[in-house]
Amino acid sequence: MTTPPVPPHAIPPRTHNAQRPSLQKIFLTGVLTLLPIWLTWVVVKFVFVLLSDTSRPLVDPLLRNLAVTNPQAFAWLQQAWVQMSIGLLATLAVILLSGVMARRVFGQRLLRWFEALVARVPLANTIYGSARKLLDILQTAPDGTQRVVLIDFPHTEMKSVGFVTRVIREHGSGRELAAVYVPTTPNPTSGYLEIVPVEKMTPTDWTVDQAMSFIISGGAVSPDSIPFSVPAPVVPDR
CATH number at residue 186: 2.30.30
Are 146 and 211 members of one domain? yes
Kindly state whether residues 212 and 195 are assigned to the same domain: yes
Once rounded to an integer, what is the mean pLDDT over residues 153-178? 89
Q: Do 149 and 173 share a domain, yes or no?
A: yes
Residue 94: partners with Cβ closer than 8 Å, 6 or more residues away: 55
What is the arrangement of strands in the sheet containing 191-197, beginning at the earlier edge strand?
191-197, 176-183, 159-169, 148-152, 202-203
**Residue 182: predicted pLDDT:** 92
76 with 114, same domain? no
Same domain, 117 and 154: no
User: Among 119, 137, 155, which residue terminates a domain?
Assistant: 137
54 inside domain: yes
- Whether the pLDDT of residue 40 is over 60: the answer is yes
Residue 65 has pLDDT above 60, yes or no: yes
Q: How would you class 152 by CB atoms within 10 Å of its CB: exposed for 0-12, middle for 13-18, buried for 19 or more? A: middle
Do 175 and 148 fall into the same domain?
Answer: yes
Single-letter amino acid code for the residue at 165: T
Q: Is residue 8 part of a domain?
A: no
Look at residues 137, 155, 186 and tell me which one is the last residue of a structural domain.
137
Domain count, the chain: 3
State pLDDT tens for residues 130-159: 777 777 766 665 555 568 899 998 888 889
- Chain mean pLDDT for the chain: 76
pLDDT number for residue 138: 66
Banded model confidence at residue 64, pLDDT cuts 50, 70, 90: confident
Instruction: Please state the separation of Cα 191 from the chain's center in Å.
Output: 12
* Residue 228, domain member (yes or no): no
Nearest Cα neighbor of 206 from 136, 131, 157, 142 is 142
- The residue range of the domain holding 113 is 105-137
pTM value is 0.52
Kindly tell me if the per-residue pLDDT of 1 is higher than 90.
no
